[in-house]
């Protein structure tokens, strides 16, 4: 049975990596997917869905005015059977578009996997995330960690000095140069002006340090 899944997390938890792995799994089995990506997020180029570890794929761009069910139906009519729809940066969906995702599931019988942030830099729900949390069949948290070692559940927007930014538009595209994922406790502390936070944390190699023997 087709379902609507919402995979949510703070930033840098590997949402896009997970999306691309899911698409790969379908393709390995000879099944076709449609990847949807918002036009406003063009950091890797318009229509390119790219992860921080170097994986990438082409996606179909959508705007706030697009009907996502219509896009899925047009894709199926043009290219044949559609086995899964994957949505990157799903927090940017409108309420209407989240409903359209439910129609893809309920009327087209195609599963939809949506990946996005739960909250913005103020700790408030994005519109897309709010209705995905309300209407999705399955909610899956993708976990990441704060520099404190605790689970990161919040996103801070900070200035060049590491101080929290509490004003400005909800949507401001950026990556590690503007945002950092932190625990709720760290979020409260930095938002209260009780500390600053480094945007670029020291990065260690994944493997054994050079020169170290077994």
Domain residue spans in the chain? Answer: 4-143
Task: Say if residue 34's pLDDT is above 70.
Answer: yes
CATH class of 4-143: alpha beta
Measured distance CA(97)–CA(64) in Å, rounded:
8
Residue 206: count of CB within 10 angstroms of its CB:
5
Measured distance CA(68)–CA(71) in Å, rounded:
5
Look at residue 204 in the predicted model and tell me its pLDDT.
47
Look at residue 191 in the predicted model and tell me its pLDDT.
82
CA 116 to each of CA 15, 191, 193: distance values in angstroms, whole numbers, following the listed order: 7, 23, 28
Q: Which residues lie across from 5 on neighbouring strands?
A: 113, 138
pTM for this model (two decimals): 0.83
DSSP tag of 57 = E
Measured distance CA(46)–CA(75) in Å, rounded:
19
Report the sign of the C-alpha dihedral through residues 132, 135, 137, 139, in that order: positive
Q: What percent of the chain has pLDDT over 70?
A: 78
Binned at pLDDT 50, 70 and 90, residue 158 comes out as confident
- Tens of pLDDT along 92-150? 999 999 999 999 999 999 999 999 999 988 889 999 999 999 999 999 999 988 888 89
| Residues that constitute the known binding site for ATP | 9-16, 88-91
Q: Give the three-state DSSP class for 69.
A: helix
Positions annotated as catalytic residues are 89
Quickly count helices (H) and strands (E) in the chain.
5, 10
| Residues that constitute the known binding site for substrate | 171-174, 179
């Amino acid at each position: 049975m087709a379902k609507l899944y919402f995979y949510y997390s703070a930033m840098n938890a590997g949402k896009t990596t997970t999306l691309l792995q899911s698409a790969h799994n379908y393709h390995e089995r000879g099944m076709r997917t449609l990847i949807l990506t918002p036009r406003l997020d063009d950091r890797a180029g318009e229509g390119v869905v790219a992860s921080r570890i170097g994986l990438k794929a082409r996606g179909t761009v959508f705007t706030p005015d697009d009907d996502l069910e219509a896009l899925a139906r047009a894709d199926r009519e043009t290219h044949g059977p559609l086995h899964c729809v994957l949505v990157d940066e799903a927090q940017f969906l409108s309420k209407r578009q989240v409903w359209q995702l439910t129609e893809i599931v309920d009327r087209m019988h195609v599963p939809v996997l949506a990946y996005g942030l739960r909250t913005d830099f103020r700790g408030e729900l994005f519109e897309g995330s709010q209705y995905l949390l309300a209407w999705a069949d399955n909610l899956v948290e993708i976990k990441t960690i704060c520099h404190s070692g605790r689970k990161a559940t919040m996103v801070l927007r900070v200035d060049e000095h590491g101080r929290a930014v509490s004003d400005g538009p909800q949507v401001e595209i950026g990556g590690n140069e503007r945002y950092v994922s932190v625990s709720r406790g760290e979020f409260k502390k930095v938002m209260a002006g009780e500390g600053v936070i480094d945007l670029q944390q020291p990065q260690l190699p994944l493997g054994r340090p050079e020169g170290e023997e077994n």
